[in-house]
Amino acid sequence: MTNTHYLNNQFLIAMPNLADANFAHTVSYLCQHNAEGALAIVINRPTGMTLSNIFEQMNIETSSKQVQETPVFAGGPVQQERGFIIHNTGSTSWDSSITVSDTTSLTSSRDILEAIAQDEGPEHYFIALGYAGWGAGELEKEILSNAWLNTPYKADILYSTPAKQRWMAAANQLGIDINQLTAPAGHG
């Protein structure tokens, strides 16, 4: 594709007719999108696990009840045993981190979890297991076939909106009621 516009730091909103069980009615945060492909984290699929479960598996101690009760999400079908933390970018640098935007980073290293356990981590964070990945050109083809809508990332949707409302909240940014979309939207 020539003149490709990459969609880093955007929400990917699954169209209502997307039947793939991994992505039906999901909203994902697109962290990396370039000529090699794309990586996103699904942000509205709670696993039922909390951070206390992760800390227990990793032998990380915490006394913060609020941290222990932080929900863990299913971030996508790839590497579901691996944790990914979306967080506000601060002055601390983490071992395995990529900058998504001026305000947001994605980290997958133990050091950030240890800092969160001690209430020394980022102010805002979102924890997921696994990610969604696309090879070169795959996401672009899916967007052109009307599987996805995209809209700019808004931190309050990720950090403040209840998980079950995130899909609709992201779509509402486009001024649409996602449940009213039945025919393919134009991406001409």
Helix (H) or strand (E) holding 117: helix 110-117
Q: Does position 8 have pLDDT exceeding 50, yes or no?
A: yes
pLDDT at 93: 83
Each residue's pLDDT tens digit, 148-177: 999 999 999 999 999 999 999 999 998 888
Query: pTM score, two decimals?
Result: 0.90
Check if the beta carbon of residue 167 is closer than 8 Å to that of residue 25: yes
Q: What angle do CA 143, 12, 84 make, to 5 degrees?
A: 130
Query: Residue 186 falls within a domain, yes or no?
Result: no
Each residue's pLDDT tens digit, 16-58: 888 888 899 999 999 999 999 999 999 999 999 999 999 999 9
- Chain-wide mean pLDDT for the chain? 89
For residue 41, give the CATH number of its domain: 3.40.1740.10
Q: How many domains does the chain have?
A: 1
CA proximity to 164, closest of 41, 46, 15 = 46
pLDDT at 19: 82
Residue 37 belongs to domain spanning? 10-180
Query: Residue 136 falls within a domain, yes or no?
Result: yes
CB atoms within 10 A of CB 6: 14
Query: Residue 129 falls within a domain, yes or no?
Result: yes
Query: Residue 68 falls within a domain, yes or no?
Result: yes
